[in-house]
Structure 1
Amino acid sequence: MARGTTLVKLLDLYRAECRLSFNPAHNAQDRDRQVAHIQRTQDWLWEDFDWPLLRVERTLNLQDGQRYYDFPADMHIDRISKAEVFYDAAYCLLKPGIDAEHYTAYNSDLDERQWPPQRWRISEDEQVEIWPIPDGSANLTTLEGTVKFTGIKNLSPLVADTDRADLDDRLIILFCAAEYLAASGAKDANLKLDQANKRYAKLRGAQMPRKRFSMFGVGQPQDRPKRIPFAVYNKTT
């Protein structure tokens, strides 16, 4: 079993696990419910765990005097794990949250601008607010002023027969079958649920990074330290 399984194949797997007829005519009246059940189960699995296989990076370019920015459409704004700005030839952390103390230093309502940006937050209309308001625009050649977001991408559509699931097909179907069989009073519903939970635990474990170590401290990986701006400066013109 694997990821990227088409919806029509998922329906076949669903019917097999739930002991339903494979005859399309027998499922014509129930197909929409079956599709909705598969969609809902994948949605739940997507929300329940930050799947590394769905982690993506998206960028936006800062503009002189622009406070709010539209967020990339294929990344969920509530699933951002990190934001960075390219400044001084390296990506530096943008801290989350903008509070009154920050507006006291540089009041965005008064269009007070500064460089480099230091913080970000989600605005009430689900745009991204950058603070301080940048006093310059991104340089597409040097990448200076490019903001990079790391997070979990939205699920792909799962509506047409040829649409493909983003998560493991066996995992999705086992949870679907466990719920369906429990609702129908089947005696093996708990068995299906146990199988689903075991597969979920296995897949989650495989997605988690393994800790590395070396005997006597020899050959330990040397990670490049993050460069984080500690103060702002007045950008010269």
Structure 2
Amino acid sequence: MKKLIIFLFTIISLSSCIKNRNDEPRFRLRSNSPVKFNEKLKVYVDSDDDFYYTIIHPDTRDYEDVYETSEARGSDGGKYLAYTYDNDGNLREDSILVKVSPMSVPCSNPVNKLTSDAFNFEMDFYSVRGSYGWSSYKASAISSQGDFYLTFGGYNYTPTQSRTYITDQESGFNTSDEVSLRINKNGLIYYGVPGELVHMEIDSVDNKAITLCDYKVTTGTSNNPTLINVRLEF
């Protein structure tokens, strides 16, 4: 009888411990950061309880328990927050800083000069600058042969750190990961081909450099894109 009482007491004690453990959230926000642009990224809540957790992405989107993408983008870098409420209604939270490294550029180009060996496409820029328009940031370069305009997506977005961007057609729905390119070469208009990459470097004193390496542009009527190379510093 004594052994039975001890056994029951042990079971009750263990049940109480388990109950107490699950009554309060115990969790950590974790990630496989740092990752490179286009690599798999995972940010997740590490916990063995039954609480409902929300993860807040740096761009304010929210996810349940985990955020995962097979192709990390520049906007995926930054501070993530996870939160829940305990049984008394108190907010419990944890955060983590995620780093997405820009894709490296495999070529070097003359500064403020656009070239294309295959098509004899060349522009020497005498004025290069970045400016903020009505709703987006734009890098522009002016030459006697024509003009170069790179428009960044995302409402009120301004580049503040080194990043890799993806080209898309210019639209009011473009995200902060996307840029659009328009070149006026002696009256002929070229556009950046969607999916092409643009690399931006920003140093500690806000000097900027934009590099396009074997980047495809088209007039929109040709099936044979032109490859260009350019590095703009401003």
Q: Shorter-chain TM-score category? A: under 0.3
Structure with higher helix content: 1
Which structure would you say has the larger Rg? 2
Q: Which has the higher contact order (CA 8 A, sep 6+)?
A: 1
TM-score by length of 2: 0.23
TM-score by length of 1: 0.23
